[in-house]
């Protein structure tokens, strides 16, 4: 009996001890939160935190300029919040030291080129990747694990300057993760473009599609054709409200101008490079070209005169395809574009080009005959192929909107599928690369809620959850064909976005959702979990003063409506 009581006592004591250890351990682990977006492929939470202090150093191995640069970038990120700069030093061996952030490259890792391993312990932070891209993305993950005030550059108490311990294995699902910006309809200053890129990097986007030319404005300095910016970068006024045809239009009577100098572009491209972002310029042809025609009327079929457009829509005056001087002009422009932009791809537009003028243009008709083309669609195809040949000869490839499929696809073109996913499917079946940007899920110019409760937008309805639900690989494709889907892109057309604040309101947090579509394996996606992470993650954007659309706005709207009903 006594023995029994003794063993019962021992068992009780032992289980109490166990429970208290396990309990406190769990609590400790539970203190750590990981609001990382896009969600890493694998994240094992660990107890404890790594604390940064004056003596924390960034070590990199091997001695590699890109790693050194990423170290400098990370040190700069922390500088104002920490009140000190971490030293960035080349390591003499491939081993981490206590109180260091250790970057190393290892080409034998079983990851893709943008993947990384991140091991955060109380002793040190270790980052391993095959290439510097992966190291850069590990730093973005660290950035999201740090207190949000760090992103705001505000001083943080040293005791708060820490990241939660974890073991992370991460890599992107798609190699193309894009965000676009139309600076033709509205022009945004260089400082905003730099900030747009900073935010893209935070969410691991790697491609900025910069839509630089439009009917309503030509925004890129071209030295050989100064009128493009002297004339083409200004419109005499702008439509007020929604476009409902000329009869119902009112204009603001204010001249609207803006363009980027080549120096601006160089700065933007260099900044993007540091953020591991490729800038793909878009020079629209043959449509959306009124600003160019207004500058050089001989480029159109009728010879003009033309005016830079003052309202939105699709215009009938486009580059003349019968005119050899059109191609000379475009080749000259593209030559300067290639000097400014090192990107492998140049986007040549190709969308929304009505064939009305070509039908009645003797030169275009003569071209159709001479080239043995069937119709104006084949003439568009001839146009794009000719430009493609020129760019291919200079080692570049073209991307075009899905209209470039009509009349025959240029041999090496990548297709951006925007009118739904049909174009993407057709192109992949023809073994052409595809970027998915269907209006249904990727158009950040569409409404995010009931239009009555939102600022004026172009139309549509694309709430956050719908963006999140997007699956870029169409079921219709075989596994072999699926490989042609390079990724998805969010498009930001700015007809109705006149201010940088409004652009941010439309892009965030929808761009956070699309970032996860592009990065995280489909099987790991979970909207509820995303929302929980997003709520915390948005504190980073708040700290940076980003005018994102608040998550509780829908709830607030519903409450408003409820109140109205009750009154
Ligand atoms: C269609 S998407 C366009 C743009 C407009 C946009 C508005 C595409 C290739 N062309 O010119 O701005 O719709 O949503």
> By alpha-carbon position, which residue is closest to atom 2 of ligand 1?
418
CA separation for the pair 388, 409 (Å, rounded) = 11
Cβ neighbours of 330 (radius 10 Å): 23
pLDDT at 298 over 60: yes
**SS3 call for 365:** helix
> By alpha-carbon position, which residue is closest to atom 10 of ligand 1?
351
Residue 10 belongs to some domain of the structure = no
Residues 423-428: contacts with CB under 8 Å, at least 24 apart = 424/474, 424/485, 425/474, 425/476, 425/477, 427/402, 427/484, 428/474, 428/477, 428/481, 428/482, 428/484, 428/485
- What confidence score (pLDDT) does residue 556 get? 60
> The dihedral of CA 436, 439, 445, 451: what is its sign?
negative
CA separation for the pair 207, 381 (Å, rounded) = 26
For 237-254, what is the mean pLDDT? Answer: 96
Residue 44 belongs to some domain of the structure = yes
Taking the chain, what is the end-to-end CA distance rounded to the nearest angstrom?
A: 75
What's the domain count of the chain?
1
Residue 50 sits in a domain of what CATH number? Answer: 3.30.379.10
pLDDT at 13 over 80: no
Report whether 484 contacts 172 (CB < 8 A).
no
Does residue 351 line the site of ligand 1, with CB under 6 A? yes
Does residue 102 line the site of ligand 1, with CB under 6 A? no
Residue 337 belongs to some domain of the structure = no
Does residue 419 line the site of ligand 1, with CB under 6 A? no
CA separation for the pair 277, 489 (Å, rounded) = 14
What percentage of residues in the chain have a pLDDT greater than 90?
91
Residue 475 belongs to some domain of the structure = no
pLDDT at 220 over 90: yes
Q: Which of 345, 428, 418 is nearest to 388 (CA)?
A: 345
Q: Which of 311, 314, 317, 322 is nearest to 293 (CA)?
A: 317
Does residue 445 line the site of ligand 1, with CB under 6 A? yes
The more confident residue out of 145 and 29 is 145
CB-neighbour burial class of residue 87 (10 A; exposed 0-12, middle 13-18, buried 19+): middle
Does residue 447 line the site of ligand 1, with CB under 6 A? no
Mean pLDDT over the full length of the chain: 93
Query: What residues does 398 pair with on adjacent strands?
Result: 346
CA separation for the pair 139, 162 (Å, rounded) = 14
- What confidence score (pLDDT) does residue 59 get? 98
- What confidence score (pLDDT) does residue 347 get? 98
Helices (H), 232-373: 262-274, 290-295, 324-340, 356-359, 362-370
Report whether 477 contacts 429 (CB < 8 A).
yes
- Ligand 1 atom nearest residue 416's Cα: 9
The more confident residue out of 4 and 318 is 318
- Ligand 1 atom nearest residue 349's Cα: 9
- Ligand 1 atom nearest residue 351's Cα: 9
The more confident residue out of 436 and 553 is 436
CA of 143 to the centre of ligand 1 (A): 34
- Ligand 1 atom nearest residue 314's Cα: 11
Residue ranges making up the domain that contains 79: 19-170
- Ligand 1 atom nearest residue 185's Cα: 12
pLDDT at 7 over 90: no
For 334-393, what is each residue's pLDDT tens digit?
Answer: 999 999 999 999 999 999 999 999 999 999 999 999 999 999 999 999 999 999 999 999
Residue 164 belongs to some domain of the structure = yes
Residue 354 belongs to some domain of the structure = no
> By alpha-carbon position, which residue is closest to atom 8 of ligand 1?
351
For 158-187, what is each residue's pLDDT tens digit?
Answer: 999 999 999 999 999 999 999 999 999 999
CA separation for the pair 311, 17 (Å, rounded) = 74
- What confidence score (pLDDT) does residue 31 get? 82
Q: What is the DSSP string of 293-307?
A: HHH-GGGBSS-----
Q: Which of 470, 467, 487, 506 is nearest to 178 (CA)?
A: 487
* Mutation to probe ligand 1, out of 285, 351, 458, 496 (largest number of atoms < 8 A from CB): 351
Q: Which of 490, 464, 467 is nearest to 553 (CA)?
A: 464
Confidence of residue 553 (pLDDT cuts 50, 70, 90): confident
CA of 59 to the centre of ligand 1 (A): 47
Q: Which of 434, 416, 411, 426 is nearest to 484 (CA)?
A: 434
Does residue 383 line the site of ligand 1, with CB under 6 A? no
- What confidence score (pLDDT) does residue 260 get? 99
- What confidence score (pLDDT) does residue 26 get? 38
The more confident residue out of 567 and 161 is 161
For 445-482, what is each residue's pLDDT tens digit?
Answer: 999 999 999 999 999 999 999 999 999 999 999 999 99
For 428-450, what is the mean pLDDT? Answer: 98
For 256-282, what is each residue's pLDDT tens digit?
Answer: 999 999 999 999 999 999 999 999 999
pLDDT at 2 over 80: no
CA separation for the pair 529, 541 (Å, rounded) = 19
- What confidence score (pLDDT) does residue 44 get? 98
Residue 479 belongs to some domain of the structure = no
pLDDT at 24 over 50: no
pLDDT at 563 over 90: no
CA separation for the pair 232, 156 (Å, rounded) = 48
Confidence of residue 559 (pLDDT cuts 50, 70, 90): low
- What confidence score (pLDDT) does residue 1 get? 47
Residue 51 belongs to some domain of the structure = yes
- What confidence score (pLDDT) does residue 367 get? 98
Q: CA-CA distances (angstroms) from residue 369 to 319, 350, 379, 474?
A: 19, 22, 10, 39
Does residue 418 line the site of ligand 1, with CB under 6 A? yes
CA of 493 to the centre of ligand 1 (A): 7
Does residue 401 line the site of ligand 1, with CB under 6 A? yes
For 109-143, what is each residue's pLDDT tens digit?
Answer: 999 999 999 999 999 999 999 999 999 999 999 99
What percentage of residues in the chain have a pLDDT greater than 70?
92
- What confidence score (pLDDT) does residue 257 get? 98
Cβ neighbours of 399 (radius 10 Å): 25
CA separation for the pair 387, 391 (Å, rounded) = 6
CA of 288 to the centre of ligand 1 (A): 10
pLDDT at 15 over 60: no
pLDDT at 483 over 70: yes
pLDDT at 75 over 70: yes
- What confidence score (pLDDT) does residue 29 get? 45
Confidence of residue 428 (pLDDT cuts 50, 70, 90): very high
CA of 221 to the centre of ligand 1 (A): 23
Does residue 443 line the site of ligand 1, with CB under 6 A? yes
* pTM across the whole model: 0.93
pLDDT at 16 over 80: no
CA separation for the pair 254, 215 (Å, rounded) = 17
Does residue 382 line the site of ligand 1, with CB under 6 A? no
For 224-243, what is the mean pLDDT? Answer: 97
Q: Which of 502, 501, 505 is nearest to 549 (CA)?
A: 505
- What confidence score (pLDDT) does residue 552 get? 80
Strand 278-285 vs strand 100-105: parallel, antiparallel, or unpaired?
unpaired
């Amino acid at each position: 009996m006594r023995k029994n009581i003794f063993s019962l006592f021992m068992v009780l004591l032992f289980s109490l001890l166990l429970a208290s250890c396990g309990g406190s351990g769990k609590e400790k682990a539970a203190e750590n939160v990981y609001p990382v977006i896009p969600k890493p492929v694998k994240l094992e939470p660990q107890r404890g935190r790594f604390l940064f202090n004056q003596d924390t150093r960034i070590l990199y191995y091997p001695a590699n300029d890109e790693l050194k640069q990423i170290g400098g970038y990370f040190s700069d990120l922390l500088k104002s919040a920490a009140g000190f700069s971490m030293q960035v030093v080349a390591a003499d061996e491939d081993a981490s030291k206590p109180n260091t952030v250790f970057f190393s490259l290892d080409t034998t890792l079983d990851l893709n080129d943008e993947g990384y391993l991140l091991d955060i312990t109380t002793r040190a932070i270790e980052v391993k990747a095959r290439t510097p891209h992966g190291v850069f993305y590990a730093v973005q993950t660290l950035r999201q694990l740090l207190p949000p005030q760090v992103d705001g550059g505000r001083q943080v108490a040293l005791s708060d300057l820490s990241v939660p311990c974890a073991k992370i294995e991460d890599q992107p699902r798609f190699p193309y993760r894009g965000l676009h910006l139309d600076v033709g309809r509205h022009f945004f200053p260089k400082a905003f473009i730099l900030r747009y890129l900073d935010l893209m990097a935070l969410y691991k986007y790697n491609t900025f599609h910069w839509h630089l030319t439009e009917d309503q404005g030509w925004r890129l300095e071209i030295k050989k054709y100064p009128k493009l910016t002297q004339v083409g970068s200004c419109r005499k006024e702008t439509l007020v409200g929604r476009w409902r045809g000329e009869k119902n239009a009112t204009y603001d009577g204010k001249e609207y101008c803006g363009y980027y100098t080549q120096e601006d572009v160089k700065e933007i491209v260099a900044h993007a490079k540091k953020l591991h972002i490729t800038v793909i310029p878009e020079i629209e042809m043959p449509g959306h070209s009124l600003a160019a025609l207004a500058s050089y009327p001989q480029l159109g079929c009728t010879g003009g005169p033309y005016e830079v457009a003052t309202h939105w829509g699709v215009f009938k005056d486009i580059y003349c395809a019968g005119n050899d001087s059109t191609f000379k002009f475009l080749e000259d422009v593209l030559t300067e574009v290639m000097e400014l932009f090192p990107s492998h791809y140049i986007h040549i537009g190709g969308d929304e080009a009505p064939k009305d003028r070509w039908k009645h243009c003797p030169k275009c008709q003569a071209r159709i005959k001479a080239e043995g083309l069937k119709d104006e669609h084949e003439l568009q195809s001839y146009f794009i192929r000719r430009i493609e040949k020129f760019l291919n000869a200079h080692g570049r490839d073209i991307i075009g909107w899905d209209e470039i499929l009509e009349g025959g696809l240029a041999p090496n073109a990548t297709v951006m599928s925007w009118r739904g996913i049909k174009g993407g499917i057709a192109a992949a079946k023809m073994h052409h690369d595809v970027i998915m940007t269907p209006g249904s899920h990727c158009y950040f110019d569409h409404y995010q809620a009931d239009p009555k409760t939102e600022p004026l937008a172009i139309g549509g309805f694309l709430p956050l959850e719908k963006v999140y639900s997007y699956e870029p690989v169409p079921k219709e494709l075989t596994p072999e064909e699926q490989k042609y889907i390079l990724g998805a892109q969010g498009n930001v057309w700015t007809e109705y976005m006149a201010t940088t604040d409004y652009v941010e309101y439309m892009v965030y947090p929808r761009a956070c959702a699309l970032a996860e579509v592009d990065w995280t394996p489909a099987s790991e996606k979970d909207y509820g979990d995303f929302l929980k992470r997003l709520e915390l993650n948005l504190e980073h954007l708040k700290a940076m003063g980003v005018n994102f659309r608040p998550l509780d706005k829908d709830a607030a709207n519903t409450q408003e409506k409820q109140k109205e009903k009750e009154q």
